[in-house]
Amino acid sequence: MSKNNQEAFQGIGRRLKKIRKQLDYSIPKMAGALGLSYNGYYKNEINRAVPGGATMYSLQKNFNVSMDWLLFEKGPMFFKDKSQPVETYLVNANQTPELLELLNAMEKNPQLKHEIMAYFYKFKTEKKLEE
């Protein structure tokens, strides 16, 4: 893993452990629930590897884990209510149809959301460095 990737995702392992402890799962039970081997999961938890898309999808779908929290430690650990439509999160009613389409697509596809958010935070970090 490159140094930039390590820096961007260094806290994921610690947050995975927090999720596991919150659920009161052992490492073998959490690994099994995510369809991983003990070693595969443990490498994620100790930051030797970044969880794959299937693992992140399973965390979100089966345990209501927020990808914003897992990847960037933003917002709550778990979704309280996943049934709210995207439109309720829009602050300004004058948003473009494209933005609404993007938000809906991100809500349905956690991998897309992860990739866009990772790009956004990388962009945001680089812009801060330029200032």
- The tens digit of pLDDT for each residue in 23-59 reads 999 999 999 999 999 999 999 999 898 898 889 888 9
pLDDT score recorded for residue 38:
94
> Is residue 1's pLDDT more than 60?
no
Determine how many CB atoms are found less than 10 A away from the CB of residue 13.
19
Residue with more model confidence, 44 or 100: 44
What pLDDT does residue 83 have?
Answer: 46
pLDDT at 8: 59
Mean of pLDDT over the chain: 80
Q: Which two tokens stand for residue 64?
A: 């209501």
Nearest-10 crossing angle of helices 12-23, 53-63: 30
What number of H helices and E strands is found in the chain? 8, 0
Burial of 81 (0-12, 13-18, 19+ CB in 10 A): exposed
Is the CB of residue 42 less than 8 Å from the CB of residue 27? yes
**Number of neighbouring beta carbons within 10 Å of residue 23:** 13
The fold adopted by the segment(s) 3-130 is: 434 Repressor (Amino-terminal Domain) (1.10.260)
Report whether 67 contacts 60 (CB < 8 A).
yes
- Look at residues 13, 14, 33 and name the one whose alpha carbon lies nearest to residue 23: 33
Instruction: Give 41 or 83, the one with higher predicted confidence.
Output: 41
User: Cα–Cα distance between 11 and 71 in angstroms, integer?
Assistant: 8
